[in-house]
């Protein structure tokens, strides 16, 4: 029986015809009292169980109020933001396991999260690791974990690219001028009034990372309305003339996107490939839609304004029609990031990042899922040195355990003055700060796949060899064979730079074998103390980021 408003709940609670009731979270709030009557409920299965995370959520309270001893939670992202979410789900299944929320926070959440901070002491790290191991041991008795790797063997290969895009001159100037506005300076200096507006100020910078055109008068109002009058100065100080400059002159990510779309659409081998483009902002989707129209690329769009009863029709049309009819789908990360099956596309472009890594992962999973027949390519676009890259770094360092920013959107105090000083900067001192976090000594000349048994002589590198990284106690050895190779170590055989590969020409079996070989090296690198969450990526020559970008006169 489906609780859709047409059926009487008493048919389930008192009748013998229905033994299973399927009900949504929203509907659950209205029928909780009725479900408590009659014979009761023997088993509760909660899909997307992480939605129980807010203990004050009425639907969650209704589900918890069901008097049943048999409970099952299904969740693909049990740890989206912080350990409090995990506690709520565990407490639903095994009440009083941790006594109380405050006890869990004191004994587990606080020491574990503290140990992950860059400035954590050795004692704090040891305590956090010990509490994490204890928590894992306590909960593994009733948790069955199955990752996407289970079905990965039955899907075509997935390749993910993280593309750091150096801002154009015009974009960097606008970004820095905004940072010098009173609202941003006040936040950096620790003024509480300015700190309370922190998330709104952050969103202004995220929009500049996408395109300064998002600060034009129609967008300025929406950008500033949530952050108060002081923040209006941050956007009002930029002249409309500068913001109206050609899109490709002021947005580095739009340049990269433009090149990707043209390469995919114009390559005769790629005529059957389609693209999903994802953004967190409706205004950004508007810009993308306008640009694709200028390129004469047919598209569909699904966002928060799309009627619920139309969404599946749009998905079906996109999946079933040819690229000539619907080349791209513009997708809102929030509206379409969960549950949709978009296997009609083999390429997905994540135009901006979210604080919550689970949001990005859910969006990227729309194309790489059962039913996909082609190798899948995913591109994550980040403006180097800006808010994009800083959010991405926080995603990585949290390793799927993001801080409490998302759950406390209305509380600006979640940001310390030191955090805001770091966030409200534009890093122009490095080609790619995230690359620097690898602890890599390549000098920006790139990492290439390891070749255990070269079939040809290594290509000579005319540049001086980088100085070897000092060996840690764990990796010190008299034998070169025992030394963990840096991702950019000069002993690797250098390969041609990657290019856009048509799916029809992609050898996914060879790529899978290469990835298996490099996984072993990543484990060795991790043992040497490199930033583990970054080691899943190979990287290309960062010299490309030093090349002049203002060919459009920006």
Summarize pLDDT for 330-353 with one digit per residue, the tens: 999 888 766 789 999 999 999 999
Residue 14's pLDDT band (cuts 50, 70, 90): low
pLDDT of residue 118 exceeding 60, the answer is yes
115 phi and psi angles, rounded to 5 deg: -65, -20
Lowest mean pLDDT among 183-197, 255-269, 376-390, 494-508: 494-508
pLDDT of residue 112 exceeding 60, the answer is yes
pLDDT of residue 144 exceeding 50, the answer is yes
Tell me the average pLDDT across 37-62: 73
Q: Which pLDDT belongs to residue 542?
A: 44
Q: Which pLDDT belongs to residue 448?
A: 45
Element (H, E) at 301: strand 299-302
In percent, how much of the chain has pLDDT > 90? 17
pLDDT of residue 163 exceeding 70, the answer is yes
In what side-by-side order are the strands of the sheet with 299-302?
158-165, 376-383, 347-350, 275-279, 328-332, 299-302
Residue 78's pLDDT band (cuts 50, 70, 90): low
Specify the higher pLDDT residue, 143 or 433: 143
Q: Which pLDDT belongs to residue 478?
A: 36
Q: Which pLDDT belongs to residue 255?
A: 93
**Under 8 Å between Cβ of 353 and 324:** no
pLDDT of residue 326 exceeding 90, the answer is yes
Specify the higher pLDDT residue, 38 or 112: 112
pLDDT in tens, 395-432: 776 544 433 322 333 333 345 556 666 777 787 777 77
Q: CA 497, CA 435: separation in Å to the nearest integer?
A: 17
Q: Which pLDDT belongs to residue 296?
A: 92
In percent, how much of the chain has pLDDT > 70? 61
pLDDT of residue 210 exceeding 90, the answer is yes
Please provide the CATH number assigned to the domain covering 251-384. Answer: 3.40.50.300
Q: Which pLDDT belongs to residue 184?
A: 79
C-alpha angle with apex 404: 207 to 115, nearest 5 degrees?
120
Exposure on the CB side of residue 111, measured as CA atoms within 13 A: 19
pLDDT of residue 505 exceeding 70, the answer is no
Tell me the average pLDDT across 307-317: 90
Tell me the average pLDDT across 229-251: 75
pLDDT of residue 250 exceeding 50, the answer is yes
Q: Which pLDDT belongs to residue 194?
A: 54
Lowest mean pLDDT among 93-97, 224-228, 376-380, 386-390: 224-228
Instruction: Compute the radius of gyration of the chain from its Cα atoms.
Output: 25
**Under 8 Å between Cβ of 399 and 533:** yes
Q: Which pLDDT belongs to residue 289?
A: 95
**Coil vs helix vs strand at 57:** coil
DSSP label of 398: H
**Under 8 Å between Cβ of 400 and 79:** yes
Find the distance separating the first CA and the last CA of the chain, reported in whole Å. 61
Q: CA 366, CA 342: separation in Å to the nearest integer?
A: 5
Question: How many residues appear in the chain?
Answer: 554
pLDDT of residue 131 exceeding 80, the answer is yes
Query: Judging by DSSP bridges, how do beta strands 70-73 and 275-279 pair with one another?
Result: unpaired
Q: CA 439, CA 422: separation in Å to the nearest integer?
A: 20
Contacts of 491 (CB under 8 A, 6+ apart): 485
Residue 518's pLDDT band (cuts 50, 70, 90): low
Query: 285 - beta bridge partners?
Result: none
**Under 8 Å between Cβ of 124 and 115:** yes
Q: Which pLDDT belongs to residue 136?
A: 83
Q: CA 439, CA 91: separation in Å to the nearest integer?
A: 40
Distances (CA, A) of 14 to 34, 36, 44, 227, 456: 10, 11, 17, 52, 76
pLDDT of residue 288 exceeding 90, the answer is yes
pTM of the model: 0.68
Which ranges in 109-251 belong to alpha helices (H)?
Answer: 110-115, 122-139, 149-152, 169-179, 182-188, 192-195, 198-210, 217-224, 229-236, 240-243, 247-250
Number of separate helices (H) and strands (E) present in the chain? 25, 8
Specify the higher pLDDT residue, 408 or 447: 447
Please provide the CATH number assigned to the domain covering 10-139. Answer: 3.40.50.10810
Portions of the chain given CATH number 3.40.50.300:
251-384
DSSP label of 22: B
**Coil vs helix vs strand at 541:** coil
The overall average pLDDT reported for the chain is 72
Q: CA 161, CA 410: separation in Å to the nearest integer?
A: 33
Which ranges in 36-144 belong to alpha helices (H)?
Answer: 58-64, 83-93, 101-104, 110-115, 122-139
Q: Which pLDDT belongs to residue 226?
A: 43
**With helix as H, strand as E and coil as C, how does 416-447 read?**
CHHHHHHHCCCCCCCCCHHHHCCCCCCCCCCC
Q: Which pLDDT belongs to residue 382?
A: 93
Contacts of 125 (CB under 8 A, 6+ apart): 115
Portions of the chain given CATH number 3.40.50.10810:
10-139
Q: Which pLDDT belongs to residue 302?
A: 93
Phi-psi region of 372 (alpha: psi -120 to 50; beta: other; left: phi over 0): beta
Exposure on the CB side of residue 343, measured as CA atoms within 13 A: 11
**Under 8 Å between Cβ of 172 and 426:** yes
């Amino acid at each position: 029986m489906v609780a859709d408003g047409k059926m009487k709940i008493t048919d389930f609670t008192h009748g013998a015809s229905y033994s299973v009731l399927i009900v949504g979270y929203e509907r659950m709030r209205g029928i909780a009292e009725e479900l408590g009557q009659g014979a009761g409920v023997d088993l509760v299965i909660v899909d997307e169980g992480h939605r129980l995370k807010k203990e004050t959520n009425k639907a969650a309270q209704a589900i918890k109020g069901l008097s049943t001893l048999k409970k099952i939670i299904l969740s693909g992202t049990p740890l989206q933001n912080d350990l409090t979410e995990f506690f709520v789900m565990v407490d639903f299944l095994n009440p009083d396991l941790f006594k109380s929320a405050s006890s869990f926070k004191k004994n587990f959440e606080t020491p574990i999260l503290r140990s992950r901070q860059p400035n954590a002491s050795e004692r704090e790290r040891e305590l956090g690791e010990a509490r994490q191991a204890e928590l894992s041991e306590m909960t593994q008795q009733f948790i069955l974990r199955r990752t996407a790797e289970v079905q990965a063997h039955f899907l075509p290969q997935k390749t993910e690219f993280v593309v750091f895009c150096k801002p154009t001159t015009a974009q960097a100037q606008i970004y820095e001028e905004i940072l010098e506005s009173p609202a941003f300076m006040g936040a950096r200096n620790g003024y509480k009034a300015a700190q309370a507006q922190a998330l709104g100020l952050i969103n202004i910078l995220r929009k500049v990372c996408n395109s300064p055109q998002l600060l034009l008068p129609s967008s300025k109002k929406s950008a500033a309305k949530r952050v108060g009058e002081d923040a209006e100065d941050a956007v009002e100080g930029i002249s409309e003339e500068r913001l109206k400059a050609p899109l490709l002159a002021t947005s580095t990510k739009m340049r990269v996107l433009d090149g990707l779309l043209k390469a995919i659409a114009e390559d005769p081998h790629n005529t059957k490939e389609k693209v999903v483009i994802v953004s967190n902002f409706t205004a950004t989707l508007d810009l993308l839609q306008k640009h694709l129209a200028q390129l004469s690329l047919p598209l569909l769009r699904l966002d928060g304004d799309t009627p619920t009863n139309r969404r599946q029709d749009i998905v079906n049309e996109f999946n079933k029609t040819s690229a000539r009819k619907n080349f791209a789908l513009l997708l809102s990360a929030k509206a379409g990031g969960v549950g949709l099956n978009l296997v009609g596309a083999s390429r997905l472009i994540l135009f901006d990042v979210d604080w919550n890594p689970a949001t990005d992962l859910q969006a990227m999973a729309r194309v790489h899922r059962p039913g996909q027949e082609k190798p899948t390519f995913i591109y994550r676009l980040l403006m180097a040195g800006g808010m994009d890259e800083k959010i991405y770094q926080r995603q990585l360092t949290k390793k799927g355990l993001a801080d409490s920013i998302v759950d406390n959107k209305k509380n600006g105090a979640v940001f310390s003055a030191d955090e805001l000083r770091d966030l409200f900067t534009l890093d122009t001192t490095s080609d790619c700060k995230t690359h620097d976090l690898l602890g890599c000594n390549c000098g920006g000349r790139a990492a290439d796949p390891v070749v255990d048994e070269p079939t040809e002589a290594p290509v000579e590198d005319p540049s001086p060899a980088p100085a070897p990284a000092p060996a840690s106690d764990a990796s010190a050895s008299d034998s070169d064979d025992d030394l963990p190779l840096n991702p950019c170590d000069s002993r690797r055989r250098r390969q041609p730079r990657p290019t856009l590969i048509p799916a029809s020409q992609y050898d996914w079996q060879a790529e899978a074998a290469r990835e298996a070989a490099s996984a072993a090296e990543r484990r060795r690198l991790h043992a040497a103390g490199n930033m583990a969450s970054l080691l899943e990526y190979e990287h290309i020559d960062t010299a490309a980021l030093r090349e002049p970008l203002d060919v459009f006169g920006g």
